[in-house]
Structure 1
Amino acid sequence: MEIATKTSLVRWVLALWFMAMAAGCSVNHAPQATTTEQPNTTQVMVMIYFGMAEHDGTPISQQRWLEFEKHELARHFEGFTLFDAKGYYQGQAEVSKVVLIIINKSQLETVKNIADSYRQQFNQHSVMVTVFNLQQWHFIKGD
């Protein structure tokens, strides 16, 4: 995939993510929420792009994906967000899963190992991983 196409895909996915987050906002007359702010020195936001077809075009079943999700992703990460997506690779449309996680930089090797495991297990040409430095992140909690 060309760099310009990857950049466009990342921008598109991030734009959708921000719109989804904004759509979830609503006016609430509940008591003032408190913010748990984590100044960031070691966390990064990682997005992993999993193609849902093997290299020969054979679709990856929902059951096989859920097994991978349970045994690889959920086992290694305390929390993550999962998106269904449609991407393009080498000029061909492909159904994909995008996983967004905020992790400590020390866990990047685990991410690479999971991506490589998926690549081998599901006969993928490659699995794209993007890493973004974060300035800070918050959990907004009620009283």
Structure 2
Amino acid sequence: MMVRTLSVFLVLVFLSGCSVSSYTQSEQQLVESSRHQGLQMYFGLSKPTGGVITNAQWHEFETKHLAKTFTGFNLVTGAGYYKGKKEGSKIVTLYEVTPKDITAAKSLASKYCEMFNQDSVLIVQLGVEKIMFVSKEPS
């Protein structure tokens, strides 16, 4: 399945994200910190036996399982290739992950494989140098 063979390039492409909040300059200094853990999960949308996971099926998984597992995450729709065939995918990125989040991600990946007859879900742990929330300049 594609999730096993995604290149480092795709990981780097989907690493970037943006979050906007209403923190003041002094609050921003409290939020800005370094040396964090991140996590990315790559969910393939092709079924090994043929066919694809539909938008409705993904939406049900997203709302009933993914959104209830993690407080916040970024979701990107992507595409990749596995064994010469194009495959759709969903890439979930989380920052500020804890060991509990990593355990939850593994459990969620197993659930996805079971629900949709997938071979695997790729989970990438990321060392993140710095995280900061940037807001509009005070008036």
Q: Aligned residue for 1:65?
A: 58
Question: Cα RMSD (Å) of the superposition?
Answer: 2.6
Query: Following the alignment from structure 2 to structure 1, what is the Cα–Cα distance between the partners of residues 14 and 53?
Result: 24
Structure 2 unaligned runs (5+)?
Answer: 19-23
> 1 or 2, which has the higher strand percentage?
1
User: Corresponding residue for 1:14?
Assistant: 12
- Mapping of 1:8-87 within 5 angstroms? 9-15=7-13, 17-18=15-16, 34=25, 35=28, 36-40=31-35, 43-87=36-80
- How far apart in 1 are the matches of 2:98 and 2:129? 13
Decide whether the 8 Å contact of 1:46 with 1:132 is kept in 2: yes
Structure 2 counterpart SS, 1:50: strand
TM-score, structure 1 normalization: 0.75
For these two proteins, the number of residue pairs brought into alignment is 127
Contact 2:113 2:120 in 1 (8 A): yes
User: Unmatched 5+ residue regions in structure 1?
Assistant: 22-32
Runs of 4 or more above 3 Å deviation: none
Rate the CA distance shift 1:109–1:16 in 2: closer, same or farther, 3 A.
closer
Could you state the TM-score of these two structures normalised by the residue count of structure 2? 0.77
What are the superposed Cα offsets for residues 20-71 of structure 1, whole Å, 9 maximum, x if unpaired? 76xxxxxxxxxxx62221343xx42111111112211211111111111011
CA distance in 2, matches of 1:109, 1:16: 22
Report the Cα distance in structure 2 between the residues aligned to 1:50 and 1:95, rounded to whole angstroms.
Answer: 9
